[in-house]
């Protein structure tokens, strides 16, 4: 593709004030539970938790000294906390019978606030909302499905206060397990503050709303900005959604290793999709250096998602602290549960050809600003990091003909002339020439090459090829595709049951479900066990013990089984869930009876209550099918009655209840006799 942009630049400038692409409409705002009932207390009555004051002047001095030219763009500082619904905030019962927990958090003079949950476990039917006092933007609702590696990090809320609201079903309050381990004080604004414009990215940047970006509309949809937390810093970078040879809806996101290096950093990622203005502003104008106050409506700042899993990495920063002899690449998988189809995203094509680009485009978020696009009409050069000629890990862009890059652009994709991703931004010297300038400073940038790291990796032995070419086709390049959310989970695993019980193991059997409903093949099983109480709900399942070494799913309709080692004498219950490629979960399948391994005959629970006035209940289990006789005797050894005399099936909890209301006060003995074992239990009757 030849760009031919110069011929249209003047036309673009003439119409910049009135011309723009149609806006991506804002998401419908959810209504927090406090606004659904007139009887709920005002938020002013909710306790305020104020975090320690932040020394913003010191942070800005550090930023100036570092200049942010290499490395992520810092936008906030992370304050460690320990806030839970049990120790902070207020609980209030709603007219519906549900429970509402609320907490206010304040950090003085913050431009924005957000929170990170170090523990995020919610019962079925519970939902969390986050908003400011004015409720201009309401984040949520967040449910148990929004947890990533047990954590959840929220998008930012404007201002120095935020309010958390947790809506819980009437009988599930005790099942809430939340811990706000982090509060992030934002001191740099992403969108412009409402109390006035604030200069941000340079005036030579070009909005993606401008006409020059028209041939790149799909690629614009693939690029996203994100925050992450590293130690005490909240950072901002850019990245791009990538297609794979599987052509599936897994949201693989390529960015720079110097931005995201660890599993915990990936879990803390909060993505801002379609964060861009709908107007094409004139390069060089003051307006072009700010983000419009109506960004919530036309900039889609409310299109967010949280959480990712680290999939592949190949860079030097996690080892040496510097970008060095590797191409500075990281691939994460975005938590697809939090990305609706309405975001209209795109999975970009890529090329791993061992060649330089003849012309180049980058799409990025300079200084955490709305999305911009830059063009280089000249051939790039294969070099090492920050080298003019030597090396092979990076592509060097000599200078940008239109636009530039800035801090916050780190991780942005470099597209070749065929609109395929070939690398991500490590850093450089590019920037605008000065205030009011329409041109950049004619300095270079370096992009880590996908080709240099495609078959390599330094995280859990996974390579980029494992994820971008899972079909092992050997493809050198692929085209992109629109993201179509996979919302169809596998069906509940049919016929899940206890097939056999021995003295120290339980064998489970089931029929394999499909991927989408009953067709195809699921991707993974989650099998869990629980002692002494059934697994009936999703909350029960989440709290149960995971079982490893579960076989991979077979094609739909296949018979599958697994044998699980257990401790004798305990009653076990089991639950099974099937997952597809994007972690859609099937309904829970649970065993309809307990499995209790024993060596002979075992009384599981003695008679209770004890003493008793009316009735008493106890449980037992046997190893082999046999006749069990249970008799009740008084202290003189006289048989009072026979409670049971029948054949009993093995490894199944047996429950016996006896009515003692007609007996006199005193001590009695329950004698249980099996084929080779007898046991006696004491029981007292009172009147």
Q: Is residue 43 part of a domain?
A: yes
The mean pLDDT value of the chain amounts to 88
Same domain, 613 and 536: no
Q: Is residue 14 part of a domain?
A: no
Among 149, 547, 92, 535, residue whose Cα is nearest residue 332:
149
State the average pLDDT over residues 592-603.
Answer: 71
Same domain, 256 and 315: yes
**Which of 1-5, 244-248, 327-331, 543-547 is predicted most confidently?**
327-331
- For residue 541, give the CATH number of its domain: 2.60.40.10
Among 218, 311, 228, residue whose Cα is nearest residue 268:
228
Same domain, 524 and 549: yes
Q: Is residue 9 part of a domain?
A: no
Contact 194, 201 (CB under 8 A): no
Q: Is residue 199 part of a domain?
A: no
- For residue 388, give the CATH number of its domain: 2.40.10.10
Burial class (CB in 10 A: 0-12, 13-18, 19+), 651: buried
Q: What pLDDT is attached to residue 14?
A: 25
Contact 571, 532 (CB under 8 A): yes
Domain closes at, from 590, 612, 630: 590
Q: What pLDDT is attached to residue 90?
A: 97
Same domain, 175 and 220: no
State the average pLDDT over residues 595-606.
Answer: 73
Q: Is residue 143 part of a domain?
A: yes
Q: Is 150 helix (H, G, I), strand (E, B) or coil?
A: coil
> Could you tell me whether strands 48-50 and 99-106 are parallel, antiparallel, or unpaired per DSSP bridges?
parallel
Domain closes at, from 526, 560, 590: 590
Q: Model's pTM, two decimal places?
A: 0.74
Beta bridge partners of 601: 622
Indicate whether 333 pLDDT > 70. Answer: yes
Higher-scoring residue by pLDDT: 653, 426: 426
Higher-scoring residue by pLDDT: 636, 69: 636
Q: Is residue 54 part of a domain?
A: yes
Buried b (16+ CB within 10 A) or exposed e, 592-609: eebbbbbeebbbbebbee
**Which of 37-51, 75-89, 475-489 is predicted most confidently?**
75-89
Among 339, 352, 148, 344, residue whose Cα is nearest residue 254:
352
Same domain, 645 and 572: no
Indicate whether 23 pLDDT > 50. Answer: no
Q: Is residue 501 part of a domain?
A: yes
Same domain, 62 and 108: yes
Same domain, 436 and 410: yes
How far apart CA 499 and CA 510 sit, in angstroms, is: 9
State the average pLDDT over residues 508-522.
Answer: 85
Q: What pLDDT is attached to residue 485?
A: 77
Q: How many domains does the chain have?
A: 4
Contact 529, 573 (CB under 8 A): yes
Higher-scoring residue by pLDDT: 186, 203: 186
For 190, the enclosing helix (H) or strand (E) is: none
Kindly calculate the radius of gyration of the chain based on its CA atoms and give it in whole angstroms.
31
Burial class (CB in 10 A: 0-12, 13-18, 19+), 231: exposed
Catalytic (active-site) positions: 258, 328, 410
State the average pLDDT over residues 434-449.
Answer: 83
State the average pLDDT over residues 176-187.
Answer: 97
Same domain, 182 and 234: no
Same domain, 412 and 459: yes
Pick the range with the lowest mean pLDDT from 18-27, 90-99, 469-478, 513-522.
Answer: 18-27
Among 650, 375, 397, residue whose Cα is nearest residue 502:
650
Same domain, 451 and 508: no
Domain that holds residue 405: 212-467
Where does the pLDDT of residue 65 fall: very low under 50, low under 70, confident under 90, or very high at 90 and above?
A: confident
Same domain, 235 and 317: yes
Q: Is residue 440 part of a domain?
A: yes
Same domain, 525 and 633: no
- For residue 620, give the CATH number of its domain: 2.60.40.2550
């Amino acid at each position: 593709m030849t760009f031919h942009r110069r011929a249209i630049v003047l036309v673009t400038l003439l119409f910049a004030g009135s011309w723009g692409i149609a806006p991506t409409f804002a998401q419908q705002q959810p209504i927090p539970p406090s606004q659904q009932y007139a009887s709920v207390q005002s938020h002013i009555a909710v306790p305020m938790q104020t975090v320690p004051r932040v020394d913003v002047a010191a942070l800005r001095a550090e930023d100036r000294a570092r200049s942010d030219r290499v490395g992520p763009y810092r936008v906030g500082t992370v304050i460690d906390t320990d806030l839970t619904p049990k120790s902070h905030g207020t609980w209030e019962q709603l007219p519906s019978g549900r429970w509402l927990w609320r907490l206010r958090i304040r950090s003085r003079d913050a431009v924005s606030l957000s929170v990170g949950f170090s523990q995020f476990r919610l019962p079925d039917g519970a939902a969390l909302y986050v908003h400011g006092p004015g409720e201009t933007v309401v984040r949520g609702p967040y449910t148990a499905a929004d947890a990533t590696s047990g954590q959840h990090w929220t998008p930012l809320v404007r201002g120095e206060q935020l309010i958390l609201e947790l809506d819980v079903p009437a009988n599930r309050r005790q099942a809430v397990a939340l811990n706000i381990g982090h509060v992030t004080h934002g001191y740099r604004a992403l969108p412009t503050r409402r109390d006035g414009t604030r200069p941000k990215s340079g005036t030579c940047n070009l909005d993606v709303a401008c006409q020059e970006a028209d041939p790149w509309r799909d690629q614009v949809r693939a690029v996203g900005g994100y925050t992450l937390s590293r130690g005490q810093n909240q950072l901002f970078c850019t990245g791009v959604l990538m297609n794979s040879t599987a052509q599936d809806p897994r949201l693989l996101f390529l960015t720079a290793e110097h931005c995201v290096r660890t599993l915990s950093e990936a879990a803390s990622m909060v993505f801002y999709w379609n964060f861009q203005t709908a107007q094409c502003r004139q390069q060089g104008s003051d307006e072009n250096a700010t983000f419009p106050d109506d960004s919530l409506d036309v900039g889609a700042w409310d299109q967010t998602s949280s959480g990712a899993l680290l999939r592949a990495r190949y860079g030097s920063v996690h080892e040496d602290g510097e970008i060095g002899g590797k191409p500075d690449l990281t691939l994460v998988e975005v938590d697809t549960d939090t990305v609706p189809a309405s975001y209209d995203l795109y999975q970009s094509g890529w090329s791993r050809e061992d060649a330089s680009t003849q012309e180049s485009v980058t799409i990025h978020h300079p200084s955490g600003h709305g999305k911009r696009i830059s063009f280089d009409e000249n051939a790039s050069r294969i070099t090492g990091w920050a080298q003019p000629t030597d090396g092979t890990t990076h592509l060097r862009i000599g200078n940008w003909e239109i636009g530039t890059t800035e801090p916050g652009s780190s991780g942005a994709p470099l597209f070749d002339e065929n609109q395929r991703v070939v690398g991500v931004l490590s850093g450089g010297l590019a920037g605008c020439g000065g205030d009011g300038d329409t041109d950049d400073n004619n300095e270079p940038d370096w992009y880590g090459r996908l080709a240099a790291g495609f078959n390599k990796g330094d995280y859990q032995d996974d390579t980029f090829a494992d994820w971008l070419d899972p079909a092992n086709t050997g493809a050198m390049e692929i085209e992109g595709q629109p993201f179509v959310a996979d919302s169809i989970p596998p069906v509940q695993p049919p016929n899940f049951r206890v097939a056999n019980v021995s003295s120290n193991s339980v064998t489970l059997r089931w029929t394999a479900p499909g991927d989408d409903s009953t067709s195809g093949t699921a991707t993974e099983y989650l099998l869990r066990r629980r002692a002494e109480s059934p697994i009936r709900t999703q909350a029960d399942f989440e709290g149960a013990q995971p079982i490893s070494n579960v076989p991979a799913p077979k094609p739909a309709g296949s018979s599958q089984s697994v044998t699980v080692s257990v401790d004798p004498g305990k009653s076990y219950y089991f639950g099974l869930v099937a997952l597809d490629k994007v972690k859609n979960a099937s309904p829970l399948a649970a065993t309809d009876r307990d499995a209790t391994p024993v060596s002979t005959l075992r009384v599981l629970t003695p008679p209770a209550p004890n003493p008793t006035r009316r009735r008493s209940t106890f449980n037992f289990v046997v190893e082999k099918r046999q006749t069990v006789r249970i008799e009740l005797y008084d202290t003189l050894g006289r048989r009072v009655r026979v409670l049971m005399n029948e054949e009993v099936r093995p490894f199944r909890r047996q429950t016996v209840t006896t009515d003692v209301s007609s007996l006199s006060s005193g001590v009695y003995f329950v004698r249980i006799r099996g084929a080779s074992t007898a046991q006696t239990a004491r029981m007292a009757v009172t009147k």
